[in-house]
Structure formats: structure tokens, C-alpha cells
Structure 1
Amino acid sequence: MVPCYQRLEKMQVMSSQWKSKKIAHWALLPVLSIMLMNLGCATVGPDYASPNLSAPEAWHAELEGGLRAKPVDPETLGHWWSVLNDPVLSSLISQAVVGNLDLKVARARVRQARANRRINQANWFPTMDAVGSFRKSRSSENSGSGTETDLSAVGFDAVWELDIFGGTRRSVEAATADLQAISEDLHDVLVTLLAEVALNYVEARTFQVRLAVAEQNLRAQQETYQLTSWRSQAGLTTDLAVQQAKYNLESTRSQIPTLRTGLEGAMNRIAVLLGRHPGALHKILEEPRPIPAARMEVTVGVPADTLRHRPDVRRAERQLAAQTARVGVAVAELYPKLTLLGSIGVESLTVSDLFVPGSRTYSFGPSISWPIFNAGAIRSNIEAQSALQEQALGEYEGTVLSALEEVENALVAYVQEQNRRQALAESAQAAKIAVQLAETQFEAGLIDFNNVLDAQRSLLTFQDQLAESQGTVTSNLIRLYKALGGGWTSLARAATQ
């Protein structure tokens, strides 16, 4: 079978020959129409093939601290926040899926993409218009009879452009891929939203724990300050020790406003993420609760599984597919377009005779258009669309690398923060014992008061860092689930409604 493009080249040669023989243009129309109807051409332009995922067989980071390379449990990954065993957090996430404004915008984009696809699909079918007109005219007395005439007409006009070379099919293909890409964008917004709600929730609980640590140390330092003042009045110590106890006390007091500011910001941020006014969730969140903690074992699978699951990678792949189809749309502009035209109706000089048999009118026939000269605009557009396809491929490959980088960094951060938390826990325990020993020895007159101050400052520092590290461990676990693309599968249907 002769390839389609070779038959088109032959048609172009024949057309040139006919023109050289000065054959009337109207005579070419039926001949070209018959030839086009019998071409049986396939859809022009490149057919899309999904690029091969270039991913390592295993993660580079050492899987320690409860990380396992076993296949990821879809149920756990879909509801990853449930491993934190915090009903308040679970409730906030459910509210965010309903009220978040970014999610509402993403839903609207999906609806827009669906409508755009229906618009492109409509080009497959003929269009029909109902028309009606009434015209009153009078001829000149100097050039005619000077009489008035009325003309009434009612009918239907139909136009159908046959998709011979697949331009419409490619446009529908592009619109379908666009819809899929925007749906993946909605999933990506969902993944980010769930992670942001959880991260800010953990941050709020961390600030509450740090506030409790600071207030507990503040009370202990107040007792030390009072004891030192009494000892100074009794002549058992100098005023220097009193002033040292005071600035240690006020230094701790100065940290509390900063922690309260951070807590307020985290709670307000959660409210905004849920689509509510700042301060709307204070009654729910102001009661202190411990920092959520998850079980130690976390399955992370292999890189290829993560890439297939992440919405941003899936979106980039669909964007590449859409742009590949647009190359075909541009290529189709090189070839002839065959349109079937028809109309049927009634026409009469009097309204009373409008619907009698003699008033019927009709016309039908094919119309063909073929771009002959456009200063290279069509081929330039093909080149531009092909360049955009190369860009989409590069963006897809870049998205794959960024996804792998995000997971690798999350794996390392989760493991290393656990090591840091363990060291801080031991430091805080040692500092607590040191404070007790320093206070006992100072009261016995065995050591200088500076040793008590140093021990108290160290205890506050280590306890504050330990609380912060506990929050960071949980936050890094959340970031790891986000990097794995967790959360969107279980709530995708609710998010699209």
C-alpha cells in the first residue's frame, strides 16, 4: 500500500499539472473530493510513546531507623496520617479536603479541562444552525419599477468538516492528556495540602511542649532566685549571685513570647489551610497535647514504584503526551480540509406562501481548502510545537530527578534526626542530674553559684532542643510520606467532587 504522504505528494503534483493546463478551479473540486474520500490516511503526526523511567534499583541512602525496602502498603500510604494516632489531626485533614481554597481552585481547573475536552470532541460532529430572515426592499423608480417587495426565508444550515488527516483526533488526544495532567495536579495539591496541615499541626504541638519546658524551667529558676535572695539577706552569699540568678531567670522568661508567637502562627496557618479565618481553630488547638509519634517501621519500596505513584511525575508525563499530540495538530494543517455544506429551507415573497411546496429551497455540496502559500507559517508552527515537545520531555526528566532527590533527602533526614534526638535525650537526662547535684553542692557551700547557673541553662537548652527534635522527627516522617506521594489515593474522589 502506498504511504499516505506519498499519495498526497502525488496529488500536489497533479494539482500543479492541472493548473499549468489552465483547467478551471471548479472542475478540480469533485476530483479532489473523490481522491480525499478514498485516501484512508492514518492520523498524521507522531504517535506518543511513554518514556522509559530511568530509576535506580534501590535507594542510595542507608535504610536505618525503622526504614524498610519492602513494598509500600497502599492502605498505609493512602492514609499515612493515621500512623500518628492523633484524632485531632485526622479531623483537621478531613476538614482541609473540604474547605481548602487551593483545592477548590484545582477542582475548578479539572472541570474546565473536562469542558475543553468536550469542546474538542464536538468538532467530530456536524454543526447545524436554524436561520430565518425577513427583508423589505424597494427598487428605484429611475432604474426600475419602483415597487416594494418582501422576502421571507426560514431554514437550516449544516457544516461538517471531515477529519481526514486526524487534526481533530489529535486535538482531542491533547485535550484528554491535558485533563489527565490537571487531574494529577489536583492530586499533587492534595498531597501538599495534607503534608502542610500535618506539619503545621506538629509545629503547633512542638511549640506547646517547648512552652511547657520553658515555663517549668522558669518556675525552677524563680525558686533559685528567691532562695539566692534569702541567702544574700542572711549573709550566706553575695549580691552577685542574686543578680546572676535574676538574669538567668529573665533570659528564660524572654524566650516565652517568641514561643507563643510561633504557636499562634502555626494555629493560624492551620485555620487558613482549612479555608477558615485565622483564630477559628484556637479552641480546638489551644489545649496542649503531646507531639504525635509514629511507629518505628516505615516501608519505602523502590524508586520506580515511587515515580509511578507521585502525582507530579504523572502530571509531567501527561503534559508530554499532550504536547506530542499538539505536534500532530500542527502537522494536520499542511493537508487539505474537506467540508460538507448543506442547507434546506423555504423562501417566499409572501408570508402566506412560505410553507407551500413551491417555496422549498436546498443546496449541498463539498468544499475543499488547501494551504498553498502562507510564508512558512505552518511549518514554523510545527517546528515550534516540536520544540515545546522537547521542553516537555526535559521537564519530565527533571521532575523525575527532583522526585528522587526529595525522597533521598527525606530518608537521610528522618534517620539522622532520630540519632540527634537520642543524643539530646541523653544530654537532657544528664543535665537534669547535673542541676540537682549543682544545687545540692551549692547549698552545701562546695561549689560556686556559676555552676548552678550553667547547669540550669544547659538543662533548659537540652530540653528545648529535645522537644524541637521530637517534633522534627515526626515532621521528617511526614515529609517522607509526602515525598513518596502519599495521601492522594484515598481522598482523590472526595477532592474532585
Structure 2
Amino acid sequence: MSKVLFATLVLFGTLGCSVGPRYKQPNVSLPSQFTAPVSAGSTDTSAKAEPSDPEFWHSFHDQELTNLVERSLSANNDLRSALAHYDAAAALLRLSKFDKYPTVTASEDVGRQRLAANQAFGYPRNYRYSTSSINASWELDFYGRIRHNVEAQRQQLLASGNDLAAMQVAIVGELATTYIDLRGQQERLRVARENAANQERTVKLVEATFNAGRGTQFDTARARALYESTTSRIPALQSAIAIDEHRLAVLCGQSPDALVGELEVEKALPDLPESIDPGTPADLVRRRPDVNASEQRLHAATEQIGVNTADLFPRVNFGGLLGLMQYHSDTAFDGVSPTNLAGLSIDWSFLDRGRVKARIAASRSDGDAQLAQYQQAVLLALEDVENALVRYARSREQDAALRQAALDSKRAADLANVRYKEGATGLLDLLDAQRVQLQDEDAYAESHLESAADAVSLYKSLAGGWPQRQPQPVRSGKP
């Protein structure tokens, strides 16, 4: 008994210590600023992706886009799934915290037994018995195993929260990109239809000229070929529009055809911000939820090393029992007696240190892997922003040039039409001017679409689209 008490005193003397490494935030070398260019001639820096105002879609000044984003954030099924994973991580954290406290259970055992004659040894063969007890057990966390585990679960919960935020960024980014593509394809469809209408009038003019005795069938066929080539663009554009409408509905948690009637009304592309200030790389690393989630998993892996290291030391459990035992053969109260038990249990795997050390080595390797993943996440985030800045700046420059080209080619086509009617130019010049007009106007519409999509990509890389709200949770049996 004295040896047990001595061992207990020694263990209590070590109360509060914690084995295993302590987490330290890794140092990552970051540039002081991004090097990608800003849009040529742009000095407006009013459109910023600030963590305090992350809802970037408002900068496009499009109420339809805003409404769609609101729907997706509340009803998107991928977001609801991510929220369910977050709730599961929260439940596991609560579960791990209970290990800090005693576990108390109650039990009741009632039965009746008849012994064989050669088993009774002269005692009554029939008897009834019942046992009522309250059991308690408590692991004394001398070496921090439970504390390390609780902290690991807390970090996993934080990582799940950042996974949810990253999913919000991805969903809003995809929705905004799809909406912009929808409006861009509708603009391209408008351009194709307007050019087809102009070319159809040219065909009629050429046919009228031929019927009047001027021109040739070759001129008529050439004019009609250009018209038919332009009209052939329309089905592909209509298909792209329908696909975008279906995708937007699914992103909002609805059936693919749910938003067709609402979105088929053509609207212009949203306004584009003149410039977007990316802030500093240090701000980006603090703001990006995927980077934060990677760091929190690194922290959890570090805590797991402590959990496994604690297995090198004794695990001490305090147990107790209070109860009543009844054993009777005649009356219901025959043989009632109280029972109690209190004791310390020491489990020490000192003879199994090889397995324990193997688990520690495995957890250290996992920590090294998580560190490399965190460093890679930082580099990928920086690369993402640098690429997005380059694409947006260059697409704005291209957009400005193609806009002017579209205006000039339309002016040239209008003049060619007037000159052809007056007989000052030939049909070839008119058809060539109309062909160039279609190419330039379609190129400008597509470029403007790409510029808007590049703006969304830049906001997305800066972690825009992370609103301070959560989607509606899914409950079992309540889809």
C-alpha cells in the first residue's frame, strides 16, 4: 500500500506537465507587395477586396447577380454539406472535452437462477439476485494526452470552418463567372442577330439589283453565303446560354429549368471596376481561408504528436463504485448488502515502447507533410493573385482596343453600305466591311466577357465572396 501511495504522490507531483512539441506558427518568407501590373491608365483604387467588406459582387452594380448570390449562399447543396462537416467537427470537439471530467454510469442487473444439484453444495438451488451500482472513472491527465487531443480537435474545427469559407468563395466565384458568361453570350447573340439582319438586307438589295439587270448570280450567292455563315453562329450561342441558365439554377439549389424564365431576358454585362487593389501578400495569407485551414491542420498534426508521446508515460485512471447487492432465496430483502470500490489504475506501456515510438514517428512525419502543404498553400495563393492581376490588367487593355475596333468597323460598314447604294463601291467591299464588323463586334463582346470573368477571378483569389453568414443546415429526414 505504501508503494502505491508513494507512486501516486510522485505522479501528482508531475501534475500539469505536458509532453510533446508546442506549436509555433511557421515562418514563411513573403514579398512586400505584388509585382503584377495594374490596368494601363488606371489610377482609381476605390474597388478593394477588404476582409471587412468581402461581398465583391456589389461592385458590379447588378441586382440580378446579387439576388442569385444570396440564393446560392442559403441553398447551395455543396455549402450545406460543408456546413454539416463543420457541425460534425464541432460535435467531436465537444466529445473530446468530456475526457477532462469523470465518466459516471449507472447499471442494474436482475436475474433468477436454478443450479444443478451437484452445483448447489447443499445450499438452495433456486435464488434471485440483483445488483445496483453507480460507476465512475476518471483519467488523470498528468502528461497532457487529453489536452493535446482537445486542442487537436479544436484546430480541426477551425479548419472545417475555413473549409466552409473557402467553399463559399468557390461557389460565389463560380456563380458570378457563370452569370457573366450568360450575359456575355447574350451580348454575342445580339451582335450575331443584328449583323445577320444587316446582311439579310444586303442580300435583298443584291437580289433586287440582279433582278433589275445589274450584277450577277455570283454576287447574290456571295452575299447569301455571308448571311448564312452569320446565322450559323446563333444555335451555338443559344446552347451556351441555356447551359449557363441551368448551371445557375443548380448553384442556387434548384432544378436546372427553374431560372430559365427569369434569366432569358437579355441584360448588359455588369459594370467593371477600373482597378482592384490586392493589398499586401501578408494580408492575403491572413485572409485566405484555404491557407488558414492548412495552418490549422498543421497545428492539429503537432498536437497529435503530443497525444502519441504521452503514451510513453503511465496513464493513470481513478475509478469508483457505489452499489447494493441482493442475494436471496426466500424473501425479496434477504441478503441485501452495500458495496463500494475506490482505486487507482496505472497503465504503462513501457514494454511496448517500440510500437509507441513508431506511432510518434508516424505523427511527426504527418506533421512534416502538413508543414509542406501549408508552405505550398501560401505559394499557390501568391501565384493565384499574381496571375489574376496580370490577366485582369491585360484583358482591360485588350478590351479598350477591341472596343475602338468595333466602333470603327461599324462605321466603315455603314459607309460601305451607303457607297454601294450610290454605286461608288463594289459588292466585295461592302461584304468585306460587314464581315469585319461582325468579327470585331463579336471579339469585343467576348473580350468584355473575359474582362469581367477575370475581375471575378481576381476577387476570388483575394478571398472575396466570404460573407458573414452560413447556409441553411440539412437535418436528417428534412431535405
After TM superposition, the score normalised by the length of structure 1 is: 0.90
Equivalent pair of 1:69/1:300 in contact (CA under 8 Å): no
- 1:115 has 2:91 as partner: yes
In structure 2, distance between residues paired with 1:67 and 1:101: 40
SS in 1 for 2:166: helix
Indicate which of 346, 368, 376 corresponds to 2:346: 368
Q: How much has 1:374 moved relative to structure 2?
A: 2.8
Single out whichever of 205-214 and 129-138 deviates more from structure 2. Answer: 129-138
- Aligned twin of 2:477: none
1:172-183 aligned within 5 A:
172-183=150-161
* Closer, same or farther: CA 37–68 of 1 in aligned 2, 3 Å: farther
Q: Which amino acid aligns with 2:386?
A: E
Query: 1:164/1:75 Cα in 2 relative to 1: closer, same or farther (>3 Å)?
Result: closer
Kept in 1: contact 2:112–2:128 (CA 8 A): yes
Counterpart position of 1:15 = none
- CA contact under 8 A between 2:73 and 2:470: conserved in structure 1? no
1:314 corresponds in structure 2 to: 292
Out of 60, 63, 67, which is 1:91 matched to?
Answer: 67
Equivalent in the alignment of 2:108: 132
Which residue in the other structure is 1:491 paired with? 468
Identity among equivalent positions (%) equals 31
| Other-structure match for 2:56 | 80
User: Within 2, Cα distance between the matches of 1:417 and 1:312?
Assistant: 27
For 1:114, the aligned partner's letter is A
Q: Secondary structure at the match of 2:469?
A: helix
Q: Please tell me whether the aligned partners of residues 75 and 472 of structure 2 are also in contact (alpha carbons under 8 angstroms).
A: no
- Measure, in 1, the Cα distance between the counterparts of 2:472 and 2:156: 18
Q: Deviations over 1:145-190 (max 9, x none)?
A: 2622222211111111111111010000000000000000000001
Amino acid in structure 1 at the alignment position of 2:176: A
Q: Distance in 1 between matches of 2:405 and 2:51?
A: 38
Tell me how far 1:405 sits from its aligned partner: 0.6
Change in Cα spacing, 1:58 to 1:42, as seen in structure 2 (3 Å) is: same
Q: CA deviation at 1:109?
A: 0.6
Residue from 328, 334, 357 that aligns with 1:379? 357
Unaligned runs of 5+ in 2: 475-479
Q: Secondary structure at the match of 2:321?
A: strand
Q: Distance in 2 between matches of 1:321 and 1:33?
A: 33
1:423 and 2:401 are equivalent in the alignment:
yes
* Equivalent residue in structure 1 for 2:10, among 4, 10, 35: 35
1:120-161 per-residue CA deviation (whole Å, 9 max, x = no partner) reads: 111111111111112333444335126222222111111111
Q: Structure 1 residues 51-60 or 253-262, which shifts more?
A: 51-60
**Structure 1: segments with no counterpart, 5+ residues:** 1-25
Q: Retained in 1: the 8 A contact 2:38–2:275?
A: no
1:414 corresponds to 2:392: yes
SS at match of 2:142: coil
Q: Which letter maps to 1:294?
A: L
Cα distance between partner residues in 1 of 2:3 and 2:179: 74
Q: Does the CA contact (< 8 Å) of 1:138 and 1:146 recur in 2?
A: no
Distance in 2 (alpha carbons) for counterparts of 1:484 and 1:210:
30
Distance 2:69 2:117 in 1: 83
Query: Residue type matched to 2:469 in 1?
Result: A
In the aligned structure 1, how far is the partner of 2:346 from the partner of 2:47?
A: 58
CA contact 2:312–2:350 (8 Å) conserved in 1: no
> Partner of 1:240 in structure 2?
218
1:378 shift after superposition = 1.0
Q: CA deviation at 1:41?
A: 4.9
**TM-score normalized by the length of structure 2:** 0.93
Shift of 1:209: 0.8
Matching residue's letter, 2:436: S
Please tell me whether the aligned partners of residues 67 and 298 of structure 1 are also in contact (alpha carbons under 8 angstroms): no
The alignment of Structure 1 onto Structure 2 pairs a total of residues equal to 469
Tell me the amino acid that sits aligned with residue 353 of structure 1. Answer: F
Q: Distance in 2 between matches of 1:495 and 1:73?
A: 26
Output the amino acid matched with 2:75.
G
